[in-house]
Amino acid sequence: METIRLTTSEAIVRYLIAQRTLIDGEQVPLFPGVFAIFGHGNVTCLGHALEQHREQLPTWRGQNEQGMALAATAFAKAKRRQQIMVATSSVGPGATNMITAAGVAHSNRLPLLLIAGDTFASRLPDPVLQQVEHFGEPSTTVNDAFRAVSRYWDRLMKPEQVLSSLPHAVQTMLDPATCGPAFIGLPQDVGAEAYDFPTRFFETTVHEIARPRADHGQLGAAAAAVAAAAKPLIIAGGGVHYSLAERELVEFAERHNIPVVETVAGKASMLASHPLYSGPIGVTGCTAANALAGEADVVLAVGTRLEDFTTGSWTVFRNESVRIVGINVARFDATKHLALPVVGDARETLRELSGRLGEYRASDSWSDTAAAETAQYHAYIDKIAAPDSSPNELPTYAQVVGAIDRLADEQDYALAAAGGFPGEVNNGWRQKALNSFDCEYGFSCMGYEISGGWGAAMALPDKDVTVFVGDGSYLMLNSDLYSSVLSGHKMTVIVCDNGGYAVINRLQVNQGGVPFNNLIADSRIVEEVRVDFAAHAAAMGCRTETVSTIAELEAAWLRAKQADRTTVIAMQTHQNAWTEGGSWWEVGVPEVSSSEAVQAARAELENGKSEQRAGW
């Protein structure tokens, strides 16, 4: 057997370079790049190997380990899981900074390869710099914290373990049923050790999306349920994007005359202008989608994990006889809440299920009802998003999103996360192109926005990425503005300053509490100081503008589209004006309180819980 003597670190890099994938028939790198912040745990060995192969596997310097791993996650989302970025850090705080990003990737079912330095396998130098010692568990390091947020976890203790560990990590990330982050811990001495690796381990391997077919019995049961439905409804989840099933979704809906609603992850699976599109569902959804969900007797949940913001904590499905058909490549998701499971690839399952349904079509009266509900949804958004909808007041989030929505075309990609924007962009961004939207709402991670925008801009060089971010998220994580300027990955960032964590203040007050520690004015402060976001971003090399009206915002955004680098547009916005239309949502409210407002909120909670579906 022919071998080549390499260090563990060199073997890892060569293996990653050898992995290829097919996108639109073209063979491209499965791992197109590495985000890295080097420290003593990864710079001398893995860093050296990356430098030696800097042309085949480009390395991008991050400013914060969490941010660069979030950028990698957003890259995978924009690429619809067809390419995977790597993030590497040193041992200690560099590694633990990436745990939040791993949680984002895990909850959103997105591939992300994390390689963190680790303490010495020999333990001879222990305790080393940045080592956290566990007195009764000497093999435990901070990297064990990644176990809870990884689909695949390993620590390499010998060089030859690369031969089994890396292929398993790759296959875990590529398997649509197990997709998520893979973690590799690389002890400092192991990264430097050499081994005679078989040369065929580094031969080019071309991967394609796995498309497991559904069981015939499951397809038959699903077809029978749909064929008997008077008011069927399709919920399009993120799995539609990852299966590249947008066309099949439209063809299925059109052939069988079934309205389509979308989850946050599934948004932009269908054009907003399509006659069968009925908007976003759930807590951050619209009245149209939720009204249809309330009437539906069969719900085809395609590629969704049915989180509480989709189901309204399981209150949106009000028809006593409703049946969910779970079309999902992951058995765990397909079988939730006693759904009829159809475990298989979304694209192929839609094709096969359509064939079994034959000429079945839902009634025109049902699709007419959907169209009428959807028209009311669009009219409501148009009204609240109009530039003059709140005269003599600060602009609202709805107006900000509406301004960009009116100007946007097929080249625009919207990105947001957490805080107040998910409900606003989910309703107010009416997609004009497929796969033109990313709102991180699986982990609801504040700080994702700017780093995610950098990753999306890197993944989609032919698109114009617009990031919607509140002042709270901006202050949590903004350093990848600098990354985007340094790397030339241009985006437009709209910073809406409403004086703190305004949407959580809304939740606090709506559940009977008093404003406390959310808005800056309601916190323990000496003086309320407004951040000059434009000046801050300018210090990192961005183009910046501060605007105060929607007309000024529109003009600034059009200038940003023509600019040669990242532009940050800052404006003050209304603290208390939000888009309505969502469903009920269960949160914890004190069962006992001296506050009458909290007691009333608890009574409302109990009333809402009475509408929950349980047991099915």
In a domain, 482, yes or no: yes
Q: How far apart are CA 269 and CA 289, in angstroms?
A: 15
How far is the CA of 279 from the CAs of 79, 255, 403, 501, in angstroms?
A: 23, 19, 19, 27
Q: Is residue 363 domain-shared with residue 427, that is, in the same domain? A: no
Check whether 615 has a pLDDT greater than 80: no
Domain end: 553, 572, 591, which one? 572
pLDDT digits (tens, 9 = 90+) for 285-342: 999 999 999 999 999 999 999 999 999 999 999 999 999 999 999 999 999 988 999 9
For the chain, what is the total number of helices (H) and then of strands (E)? 24, 23
Q: Is residue 9 domain-shared with residue 154, that is, in the same domain? A: yes
Question: Closest Cα to residue 232, out of 328, 357, 379, 355?
Answer: 357
Check whether 193 has a pLDDT greater than 90: yes
DSSP result, 529-549 = ----HHHHHHTTT-EEEE--S
Q: How far apart are CA 415 and CA 51, in angstroms?
A: 32
* Range name among 170-184, 326-340, 387-401, 462-476 with the lowest pLDDT average: 387-401
Q: Is residue 223 domain-shared with residue 201, that is, in the same domain? A: no
Q: Are 45 and 234 in contact (CB under 8 A)?
A: no
Question: Closest Cα to residue 95, out of 56, 68, 58?
Answer: 68
How far is the CA of 592 from the CAs of 66, 339, 462, 589, in angstroms?
A: 39, 36, 55, 9
And the tokens for 419? 């805080």
In a domain, 589, yes or no: no
Q: Is residue 160 domain-shared with residue 196, that is, in the same domain? A: yes
Model pLDDT, residue 160 = 98
Q: What is the dihedral of CA 330, 170, 269, 584, to 10 degrees?
A: 50
Q: How far apart are CA 226 and CA 360, in angstroms?
A: 9
DSSP result, 5-63 = EEEHHHHHHHHHHHEEEEETTEEEESS--EEE---TTTTTTHHHHHHHTTTTS-EEE-S
Q: Are 480 and 63 in contact (CB under 8 A)?
A: yes
Q: How far apart are CA 145 and CA 508, in angstroms?
A: 31
Model pLDDT, residue 5 = 98
Q: How far apart are CA 260 and CA 275, in angstroms?
A: 10
Q: Is residue 258 domain-shared with residue 331, that is, in the same domain? A: yes
In a domain, 593, yes or no: no
Q: Is residue 31 domain-shared with residue 146, that is, in the same domain? A: yes
Q: Is residue 167 domain-shared with residue 245, that is, in the same domain? A: no
Q: How far apart are the first and last CA of the chain?
A: 59
pLDDT digits (tens, 9 = 90+) for 27-47: 999 999 999 999 999 999 999
Domain end: 158, 179, 207, which one? 207
- Dihedral sign for Cα atoms in the order 81, 443, 447, 35: negative
Question: Closest Cα to residue 196, out of 1, 5, 2?
Answer: 5
Check whether 351 has a pLDDT greater than 80: yes
Query: What are the two backbone dihedrals, phi and then psi, of residue 247, each rounded to the nearest 5 degrees?
Result: -65, -45
Residues of the domain holding 52: 3-207
And the tokens for 478? 């903004």
Q: How far apart are CA 589 and CA 509, in angstroms?
A: 12
Question: Closest Cα to residue 185, out of 284, 310, 91?
Answer: 91
Q: How far apart are CA 30 and CA 51, in angstroms?
A: 19
Strand partners, 234: 260, 300
In a domain, 604, yes or no: no
* Range name among 118-132, 392-406, 602-616 with the lowest pLDDT average: 602-616
Q: How many CB atoms lie within 10 A of CB 17?
A: 16
Q: Is residue 369 domain-shared with residue 425, that is, in the same domain? A: no
In a domain, 583, yes or no: no
Summarize the confidence of residues 194-213 as an average pLDDT. Answer: 97
Q: How far apart are CA 317 and CA 405, in angstroms?
A: 30
Q: Is residue 329 domain-shared with residue 475, that is, in the same domain? A: no
- ∠ CA(541), CA(546), CA(549), 5° rounding? 150
pLDDT digits (tens, 9 = 90+) for 467-513: 999 999 999 999 999 999 999 999 999 999 999 999 999 999 999 99
Q: Is residue 412 domain-shared with residue 348, that is, in the same domain? A: no
What percent of the chain is predicted at pLDDT more than 70?
100
Q: Are 17 and 53 in contact (CB under 8 A)?
A: yes
pLDDT digits (tens, 9 = 90+) for 66-87: 999 999 999 999 999 999 999 9
pLDDT band at 616; cut points 50, 70, 90: low
pLDDT digits (tens, 9 = 90+) for 522-563: 999 999 999 999 999 999 999 999 999 999 999 999 999 999
In a domain, 163, yes or no: yes
Model pLDDT, residue 278 = 98
Model pLDDT, residue 614 = 66
Q: Are 130 and 41 in contact (CB under 8 A)?
A: yes
Q: Are 495 and 572 in contact (CB under 8 A)?
A: no
Q: How many CB atoms lie within 10 A of CB 608?
A: 17
Residues 6+ apart with CB under 8 A from 338: 324, 616
**Any idea what the CATH number is for the domain that residue 109 is in?**
3.40.50.970
Q: How far apart are CA 142 and CA 95, in angstroms?
A: 8
**Any idea what the CATH number is for the domain that residue 323 is in?**
3.40.50.1220
Q: How far apart are CA 494 and CA 20, in angstroms?
A: 36
In a domain, 131, yes or no: yes
Number of domains observed in the structure of the chain: 3
pLDDT averaged over the chain? Answer: 96
In a domain, 608, yes or no: no
Summarize the confidence of residues 175-196 as an average pLDDT. Answer: 98
Q: Is residue 29 domain-shared with residue 91, that is, in the same domain? A: yes
Q: Are 207 and 335 in contact (CB under 8 A)?
A: no
Domain end: 162, 187, 207, which one? 207
Q: Is residue 357 domain-shared with residue 408, that is, in the same domain? A: no
And the tokens for 431? 């997609």
| Stated length of the chain | 616
Check whether 281 has a pLDDT greater than 70: yes
Q: Are 67 and 487 in contact (CB under 8 A)?
A: no
